[in-house]
Structure 1
Amino acid sequence: MEIAGYALDLLVVGFPGKSVCHGGMGWSTIALLRGHGRVALIDTGPMGMRKVLIERLRAHGHAPADVTDVLLTHSHHDHTINWVLFPNARIAIGARELAWSLEQPWGETPVPELYMRELASSPRVDRLADGAQALPHLRAHAAPGHTPGHLFFVLEDEDRDVLFVGDAAKTRAELASRRCEATLDSDASAATVERIWSCWSRKPGSIVVPGHDVPLLQRDGRIEYMQRHQAAVKANFGDDPEAFEIIDLTGAISRAGETAR
């Protein structure tokens, strides 16, 4: 997609699923913006995405050293931990978020303690305030709730905008219901979701990119998926170490009145 002088590509598209037996999945969205002399990422995914992140970046003609800016919506590991892959990038995160993350008890939260400590002392860190111009045509907005210093980013064009909302609204369900789970402050999250809706509704055709779902459009308050969900795992249940079965996690699920994913 071409918008506001950038080429926008989603290197990884998040998935609105949770593990039942093995802790968090952390399958989050990673966006790539190229334009105005920048090669920028919005969020970096969890450690398990390192290989696919590097491969997909290279498929777009770039090595990690080419990345000029990494913008982080919040400090949780599944969005931040790969900032260390980009040796020449400015690493931007909310000032309030970074300060909060350093105060969290080690081993008890999704904050990657050592990574945030290193980021706080890095000469490449850029602490963003509410309303900061993070990149040309890209503005940061305070989005407390999921974490206290969460940000969402709005890429502003004349005809439509793109909102990168991270875990301020992780899924379509949270946007539709105005209710967020896995939040530190439900009331603050509800107010943030209303703020997202206000920005989303300003220009017809504007897009929301959630932290753990496919991109979304809305028409008169009705939310539409822009693409199909994709998620699968390989599993080996037999005696042959190379005999894997592919399990489609979308399960061809459909509900009355919805397009199958």
Structure 2
Amino acid sequence: MSDLAELCGYRIELLVQGFPGKSLENGGLGWSSVVLLRGQGRVILVDTGSFSVRRTLLARLAERGLSRHDVTDVLLTHAHYDHMMNWTLFPNASVAIGAAELDHALSEPIETSLGAELYVSALAASPQLRRLTPGEEALPGLTAIEAPGHTPHHLVFVLDDGSARVILAADAVKNRAELLAVSGVSTQDSAASATTIARIGALWRERPGAILVCGHDLPLVNDGADGTYLGARRAGILCWFGAEPGDTRQIALVAASECPPEQGPTA
């Protein structure tokens, strides 16, 4: 994946890339961003993805010489399945989530919740749990701010040294379209989401070069306009439409503008 910045004593990397898409026929897609921070004697993950990303997550850590036992801290932005399920991989980490967010997730009706109820219940009972309050320093250099809308008590984590800024927004701002339209989709409270997106957008725009890490998109750098993507989108599906296991088709899930000239979006 890609290095984003060195800030507040941390090297910040996008470990798993989020994707701005929604499944139409087969339930949730849920490809969300996972961010790695290393420094100040810590190995930190901001969100951990869903079960489907588990092998990728462990492989990306291994590429950096890290195992799951090396992770010291997990910061969860909210309790949805595609952002929190893999907290169980990290037995030596403290696992921090907003106290109000966790309580809300525990009380949601199972038929409407996007929380992984057994993982949420296990976290609530775990000695690894650390409950966060908005406004506090979640870890040195990382401030937690409440960002309601997508969930009522979603947290955003901000690093700022006075000259540079990185905003780990997760699903408070899921993608560039939400940022520019100042409107959230798949949200529990549309009005609250709009207010949150406007607030996060203003925080991003007031600092030239600030980086916004969306929950389901590539990171965006403040270029004084609509934002420039950092890195290249990498997403696709390998399909077995033929009669033999070796007869496969790769479908690239990228915009036509992101494909090489010789390759269309379904190559």
TM-score normalised per structure 2: 0.92
AA aligned to 1:229 is R
Contact 1:176-1:223 at 8 Å conserved across structures:
no
- Which residue does 1:156 correspond to in 2? 160
Distance 2:24 2:115 in 1: 21
Q: Pick one of 177, 184, 188 that aligns with 1:184.
A: 188
Instruction: Give unpaired runs (5+ residues) of structure 2.
Output: 259-263
Q: What percentage of residue pairs aligned between the two structures are identical?
A: 48
AA aligned to 1:205 is G
How far is 1:253 from its partner? 4.0
How far is 1:117 from its partner? 0.6
Distance 2:106 2:255 in 1: 40
Q: Is 1:60 equivalent to 2:64 in the alignment?
A: yes
Instruction: Give unpaired runs (5+ residues) of structure 1.
Output: 255-259
Q: Is 1:205 equivalent to 2:205 in the alignment?
A: no
Q: Is 1:72 equivalent to 2:76 in the alignment?
A: yes
Map of 1:171-250 to 2, 5 A cutoff?
171-250=175-254
Distance 1:14 1:209 in 2: 9
AA aligned to 1:69 is D
Q: Is 1:128 equivalent to 2:137 in the alignment?
A: no
Distance 1:249 1:222 in 2: 22
- Which residue does 2:99 correspond to in 1? 95
Distance 2:66 2:188 in 1: 37
AA aligned to 1:129 is T
Distance 2:169 2:248 in 1: 36
Distance 1:72 1:41 in 2: 8
After superposition, the CA RMSD in angstroms is 1.5
Q: Pick one of 86, 107, 117 that aligns with 2:90.
A: 86
Contact 1:64-1:86 at 8 Å conserved across structures:
yes
Distance 1:135 1:251 in 2: 37
AA aligned to 2:6 is E
How far is 1:197 from its partner? 1.7
TM-score normalised per structure 1: 0.94
AA aligned to 1:183 is T
AA aligned to 2:144 is A
Please, which moves more after superposition, 113-122 or 100-109?
100-109
Map of 1:21-60 to 2, 5 A cutoff?
21-60=25-64
In the comparison of the two structures, how many residue pairs are matched? 256
AA aligned to 1:125 is L
Which aligned runs of 4 or more in structure 1 are off by greater than 4 angstroms?
none
Query: Secondary structure at the residue paired with 2:19?
Result: coil
Distance 2:202 2:187 in 1: 21
Distance 2:10 2:37 in 1: 6
How far is 1:230 from its partner? 1.5
AA aligned to 2:101 is E
Distance 1:251 1:136 in 2: 38
Contact 2:208-2:224 at 8 Å conserved across structures:
no
How far is 1:251 from its partner? 4.8
Distance 1:143 1:54 in 2: 29
